[in-house]
A = this chain, B = another copy of it.
Amino acid sequence: MNLLEEYNEKAIVLGLDINQPDFDYTHFKNIKCQLKIVDLLQQSEVENIIYQFQPEYILHLASYSSVAFSWKNPSASFANNTNIFLNLLEQIRKMKISCRILSVGSSEEYGNVTADKLPLHEDLELFPVSPYAVARVSQEMLSKVYVQGYGMDIVMTRSFNHIGPWQKEIFVIPSFAKKLCEMKKHGSERLMRTGDLSIVRDFVDVRDVVRAYYMLLHNGKSGEIYNICSGVGTSLNDMINTMSAILGIDVTCETEPSLVRPNDNQIIIGSNKKLVGHVGWERKISIEHSLKDIIDYWNSIV
């Protein structure tokens, strides 16, 4: 909504979430924003909402985005990703609402890849290795069937690792940022126990991601899949070093075996050629810029 305001879009936004939002959504000038608390598994409720709102665009980000959770509860992960998306598609199809849907997927869909496949491009064969990844691939396959079989207007993404302020600390970068800010503030022991820090990921600032979604909703091609990524890999070790430098502290890291994930890929880097080529997206927020904002955010909290 910040982005729509920035672009002077006069939009009416209806947000759906299962939880009450923990941010202010009433301060926009041009954006009329409502939020509804709804469980997307409740088909009839969703049907009513969609019917009343008659959306022109749907940005489908729901729902459970944790790979770790999907290992603990595969059925819930699957139902809250694939099934709610399928139900949404069905409502739009049956009501014959003419709208564009952005189906947000994940770099996790690529699964086990060998180094020679890097940077990952959208035409690669997928080898999902977690229940979460399977759910996202299923969502994507269903999207294609609805585009080809029913003529619906769906654009798909495979979004890589997001970072930015406000991200919850269950994710790796904010969890590091919070600990580093605490160390700085409380002068506590500067030893951090972590998982494998040598793994490399393609980090992209959430504000750049949101701009990509905006551009794809306007100019993406229906039925196409777009990587949303920076095209650059950074190790977790480098992320910690940059944040430590921003804070002006020295930190020693020690590997805690219980935090090392089994089956994790060593390096994931995506190609953003298609996104750049089709809609003219470019990364505007560097890793350093993101990490500075993230540190500022956590400094204001700890």
Contacts and interface: CB of A to CB of B under 8 A. Distances in A.
Contact of A71 (B86, B87, B130, B149): B149
A159 interface: no
Interface of A: 71, 74-75, 78-79, 82-83, 86-87, 89-90, 125, 128-131, 133-134, 137-138, 141-142, 145, 148-149, 263
A134 B128 contact: no
Contacts of A79: 83
B148 A129 contact: yes
Contacts of A128: 141, 145
Contacts of A82: 78, 82, 138
A164 to B, nearest CB: 30
Copies in the complex: 2
Contact of A145 (B86, B130, B149): B130
A84 to B, nearest CB: 11
Contact of A138 (B129, B130, B134): B134
Given A75-B90, A78-B82, A82-B138, 8 more contacts: A74-B142, A129-B145, A129-B148, A129-B149, A131-B145, A131-B149, A137-B141, A138-B141
Contacts of A83: 75, 78-79, 83
Q: Which 5 A-B pairs have the closest CB atoms?
A: A138-B138, A134-B141, A125-B125, A75-B90, A134-B142
Nearest to A77: B86
A86 B75 contact: yes
A263 B148 CA distance: 10
A141 B74 CA distance: 13
Contacts of A129: 145, 148-149
A137 B134 CA distance: 10
Nearest to A90: B75
A105 to B, nearest CB: 14
A74 to B, nearest CB: 6
Contact of A149 (B78, B130, B148): B130
Contacts of A89: 74
A138 B141 CA distance: 9
Contacts of A142: 74, 78, 131, 134
A130 B130 CA distance: 24
Nearest to A140: B134
A129 B149 CA distance: 8
